[in-house]
Amino acid sequence: NAGVTQTPKFQVLKTGQSMTLQCAQDMNHNSMYWYRQDPGMGLRLIYYSASEGTTDKGEVPNGYNVSRLNKREFSLRLESAAPSQTSVYFCASNEPGWHEQYFGPGTRLTVT
């Protein structure tokens, strides 16, 4: 099992450009998440999908959109990138309830 996979691993964008970060999991989990990690601030939840067909905002949703394409895939879109979105983005999944999350390897995004 690959677990949680993310593409791309690295990306450099110019201010105003758009891009989509892809995430897939092969553990048959119902819930999926997008986080960003910035130095000294820990992981912050951007959006989550409790189950296929549903999405909800987390702590820091402004400037992002998400799509739960099917049970396996959850994408994060930046419509007009800003330097403040420079960060490392992690996708995670778990089973709903009292269950730990499994994380992907991350996408390091730089916006110039």
Q: How many C-beta neighbours within 10 Å does residue 99 have?
A: 11
Say whether residue 41 binds another protein (CB under 8 A).
Answer: yes
Say whether residue 25 binds another protein (CB under 8 A).
Answer: no
Binding mask 78-97 for another protein (x = CB under 8 A): ------------x-x---xx
Say whether residue 42 binds another protein (CB under 8 A).
Answer: yes
Q: Please report how close the Cβ of residue 97 comes to another protein at its closest, in angstroms.
A: 6
Q: Report the C-alpha gap between 38 and 36 in whole angstroms.
A: 7
Strands (DSSP E) contained in the chain are 4-7, 10-13, 19-25, 31-38, 42-49, 56-57, 64-68, 74-78, 87-94, 102-103, 107-111
Say whether residue 63 binds another protein (CB under 8 A).
Answer: no
Q: Please report how close the Cβ of residue 15 comes to another protein at its closest, in angstroms.
A: 26
Q: Which residues bind another protein (CB under 8 A)?
A: 4, 31, 33, 35, 40-45, 48, 50, 56, 58, 90, 92, 96-98, 100-106
